[in-house]
């Protein structure tokens, strides 16, 4: 990964489905970064740089939205700073549930949509008791 991004620090998660292979990682600049990878016969090759977002934020949940129609990537992602959060619902994306990834002390979330992200983005978080922790339209 350091060949792809010289600020690469740690691999957190790789998402693989029929259309996408996305790699989520941290950088030396305290960012959460995402790249799209192309599967090769042996290993992977960088298909495109997707986006980066700061890891440090005052909010209990951060988010970034990115659409790359030429690669059919429509992604919402961000960090989770409230460790009580166990579920994230993207209300503006027909109440789809986001994937929450816990990697050591860092937690982040993401969701891939079939079409461009609907705005305004509305996110609702819940704790383990299914009690709403936050609902925010952004």
Q: How much of the chain exceeds pLDDT 70, in percent?
A: 99
pLDDT at 23: 94
* Residue 2 maps to a domain: no
Mean pLDDT of the chain: 89
> pTM of the entire structure?
0.89
Residue 47 class from Cβ within 10 Å (0-12 exposed, 13-18 middle, 19+ buried)? middle
Which among 57, 40, 3 is positioned nearest to 25, based on CA atoms?
3
Dump pLDDT digits (tens) for 62-104: 888 898 888 889 999 999 998 899 999 999 999 999 999 999 8
For residue 61, give its domain range: 8-137
* Residue 3 maps to a domain: no
Dump pLDDT digits (tens) for 102-120: 998 899 999 999 888 888 8
Reported as a pLDDT band with limits 50, 70 and 90, residue 4 is: confident
Sheet holding 106-112, edge to edge: 64-68, 73-79, 106-112, 99-103
Report the domain count for the chain. Answer: 1
């Amino acid at each position: 990964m350091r060949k792809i991004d010289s600020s690469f620090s740690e691999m957190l998660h790789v998402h693989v489905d029929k259309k996408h292979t996305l790699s989520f990682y941290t950088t030396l600049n305290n960012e959460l970064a995402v790249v799209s990878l192309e599967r090769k016969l042996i290993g992977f090759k960088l298909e495109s740089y997707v986006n980066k977002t700061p890891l440090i934020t005052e909010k209990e949940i951060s988010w970034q939205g990115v659409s790359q129609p030429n690669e059919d990537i429509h992604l919402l992602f961000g960090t989770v700073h409230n460790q009580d959060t166990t579920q994230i619902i993207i209300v503006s994306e027909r109440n789809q549930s986001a994937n929450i990834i816990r990697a050591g002390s860092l937690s982040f979330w993401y969701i891939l949509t079939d079409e461009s992200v609907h705005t305004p983005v509305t996110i609702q978080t819940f704790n383990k008791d299914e009690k709403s922790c936050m609902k925010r339209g952004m």
